């Protein structure tokens, strides 16, 4: 069965600095990887996905993620953090076939002015 | 285009009662999934329905059940509520197509069991 690990419960970064939110995964076969963001009292919003092709994926709000097959990782990055990026971030994976989308436990990002 | 709609937004129930939550997917979406979100466990998959059939099921007790109607609207039911069932329940729909399509989430139903 597929699984996702987000090793950090909390990430703190100063505004203007680069940010990284880590994610590693485990699947049988090729992974389909997703990042979502959740603001307080809201549902999840889709940020970006990796299906195939270029290992660097660009998404919404200036976020990008790098797929690394050898390390089974899909870290979320942004060159310059904003206070408004403070939220809960979820990494998710689906494997081939009609399998469910499985989420990590989430990482709370706090950007400090 | 309207998003995924979940009703009600908030519920307070007593232990032992049962509850039904509703989810209306985006028009044209036939896949509906349900998740339980708690601070300690994150997002846990409950079940997925496609064209009125349960396609996948997570590791939850039989007290949790669901169904999907011919118009793709879905309901989930929790019977004999326990305090630990207090959570945000999220519904997501996906457009028809391959496994690489992303899911669209509703704002959730906040269930509090007292």
Task: List, for residues B49-105, the tens digit of each pLDDT value.
Answer: 999 999 999 999 999 999 999 999 999 999 999 999 999 999 999 987 766 788 999
Task: List, for residues B16-60, the tens digit of each pLDDT value.
Answer: 999 999 999 999 999 999 999 998 888 999 999 999 999 999 999
Query: Shortest CA distance to B21 belongs to which of B111, B92, B113?
Result: B111
Average pLDDT over residues A1-7: 92
Instruction: Give the whole-angstrom CA distance, residue A96 versus residue A3.
Output: 13
B108 to chain A, any CB pair closer than 8 A? The answer is: yes
What is the distance in angstroms between the Cα of A81 and the nearest Cα belonging to chain B?
Answer: 24
Instruction: Give the whole-angstrom CA distance, residue A90 versus residue A8.
Output: 11
pLDDT at B40: 80
What is the distance in angstroms between the Cα of B38 and the nearest Cα belonging to chain A?
Answer: 9
Instruction: Give the whole-angstrom CA distance, residue A94 versus residue A29.
Output: 10
Range with the lowest mean pLDDT among A77-81, B97-101, B108-112? B97-101
Residue bearing tokens 């409950």: B46
What is the distance in angstroms between the Cα of A54 and the nearest Cα belonging to chain B?
Answer: 15
Which residues in chain A are closer than 8 Å to B55, comparing Cβ atoms? 98
A59 to chain B, any CB pair closer than 8 A? The answer is: no
- Predicted confidence (pLDDT) at residue A7 exceeds the cutoff of 80: yes
pLDDT at B81: 98
Q: How many helices (H) and strands (E) does chain B have?
A: 0, 11
Task: List, for residues A25-65, the tens digit of each pLDDT value.
Answer: 999 888 999 999 999 878 899 999 999 888 999 999 999 99
pLDDT at A53: 86
């Amino acid at each position: 069965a597929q699984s996702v690990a987000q090793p950090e419960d909390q990430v703190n970064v100063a505004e203007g600095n680069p940010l990284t939110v880590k994610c590693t995964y485990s699947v049988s076969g090729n992974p389909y990887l997703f990042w979502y963001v959740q603001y307080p009292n809201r549902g999840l919003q889709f940020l970006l996905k990796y299906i195939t092709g270029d290992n660097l994926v660009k998404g919404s709000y200036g976020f990008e993620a790098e797929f690394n097959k050898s390390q089974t990782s899909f870290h979320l990055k942004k060159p310059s953090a904003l206070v408004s990026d403070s939220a809960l971030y979820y990494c998710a994976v689906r494997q081939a076939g009609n399998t469910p989308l499985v989420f990590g436990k989430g990482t709370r990002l706090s950007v400090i002015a | 285009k309207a998003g995924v709609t979940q009703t009600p937004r908030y519920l307070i129930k007593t232990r032992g009662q049962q509850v039904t939550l509703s989810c209306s997917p985006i028009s044209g979406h036939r896949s509906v999934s349900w998740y339980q979100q708690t601070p300690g466990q994150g997002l846990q998959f409950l079940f997925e329905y496609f064209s009125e059939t349960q396609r996948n099921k997570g590791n939850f007790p039989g007290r949790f059940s669901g169904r999907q109607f011919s118009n793709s609207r879905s309901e989930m039911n929790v019977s004999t509520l326990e305090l630990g069932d207090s959570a945000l329940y999220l519904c997501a729909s996906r457009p028809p197509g391959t496994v690489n399509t992303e899911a669209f989430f509703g704002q959730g139903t906040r269930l509090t069991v007292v």
